[in-house]
Amino acid sequence: MKIDVVTVFPEYLAPLDLSLIGRARERGMLDLNVHDLRRWTHDVHHSVDGAPAGGGAGMVMKPQPWGECFDELIPGEAKPHLLVTSPAGRPFTQAMAHDLAAEPWLMFACGRYEGIDQRVVDYAAERMEVTEVSIGDYVLFGGEVAVLAIIEAVTRLVPGVLGNAASLDDESHNAGVLEAPAYTRPAEWRGHEIPPVLLSGDHGKVDRWRREQALLRTARARPDLLARLDPGSLDKRDRLL
């Protein structure tokens, strides 16, 4: 998978050099590149913003650097799926992460200030698929943090990146319910014990206990997820919970 990130704060994306994503890049599983938008400015101040047309507070990212950036990064017929993060974007979900993980080329435009001149999005949408996406109902200073979250959620689904695919099987928001609580040694810690069933060695009991805990946890924290759950995915015991 090829990923390009365009930002005026490339150092914000330094975490992508670390851990499993960094390893996948070193191994050639991810062709991920971060680009400084100021590379496509020509004035002495490398300016990327301008006063909002029609007045108002703050500044807006001007279109010219973005256009020249697209010209250089997207030279031929092949086009990326362009993702523009925004508080007004489509809510990012695990289902969207799965869809994006299947795409060959993603490009992320990180806005700052009050956002990017709308003509950049409109111009791009004439040439490639463009999706405005939000990671939650709160307003950040810019798109970089949202892009980090999206890239992590997407790339961990790319075959080979995670290493142990088994841990994808029952992760939160995958089977439609949250994960069961997790424990490790010691068996007793500051007066708190590991639930005995987890030390029983009875895998059937452990699986049933985890399923029950996952459903209880979901009912408490995210009843909306339960409402969406396919009744067919619940066995008789689940329905009794």
Ligand X SMILES: Nc1cc(-c2ccc3ccn(Cc4ccccn4)c3c2)[nH]n1
Q: Contact 30/158 with Cβ under 8 angstroms?
A: yes
Percentages (nearest 5) of helix, strand, coil residues in the chain: 40, 15, 40
What is the biggest distance separating any 2 CA atoms in the chain, rounded to whole angstroms? Answer: 69
Residue 37 CB, nearest distance to ligand X (Å)? 12
Residue number with CB closer to ligand X (1 or 146): 146
Is residue 224 helix, strand or coil? helix
DSSP 8-state secondary structure symbol assigned to residue 237 = H
> Is the bond preceding residue 65 a cis peptide, omega within 30 degrees?
no
Which run of H or of E encompasses 73?
helix 63-73
Residue 86 CB, nearest distance to ligand X (Å)? 5
Residue number with CB closer to ligand X (62 or 112): 112
Residue number with CB closer to ligand X (1 or 48): 48
Q: Which residue's beta carbon is nearest to the bound ligand X?
A: 111
DSSP 8-state secondary structure symbol assigned to residue 52 = P
Residue number with CB closer to ligand X (138 or 192): 138
Residue 145 CB, nearest distance to ligand X (Å)? 8
Binding-site ranges for ligand X (CB under 6 A): 85-87, 111-115, 134-136, 138-143, 146
Which of 154, 142, 144 is CA-nearest to residue 112?
142
Residue number with CB closer to ligand X (31 or 114): 114
Residue number with CB closer to ligand X (140 or 219): 140
Residue 113 CB, nearest distance to ligand X (Å)? 6
DSSP 8-state secondary structure symbol assigned to residue 135 = S
Residue 142 CB, nearest distance to ligand X (Å)? 5
Residue 58 CB, nearest distance to ligand X (Å)? 7
Is residue 233 helix, strand or coil? helix
Give bridge partners of residue 33 from the DSSP assignment.
Answer: 4
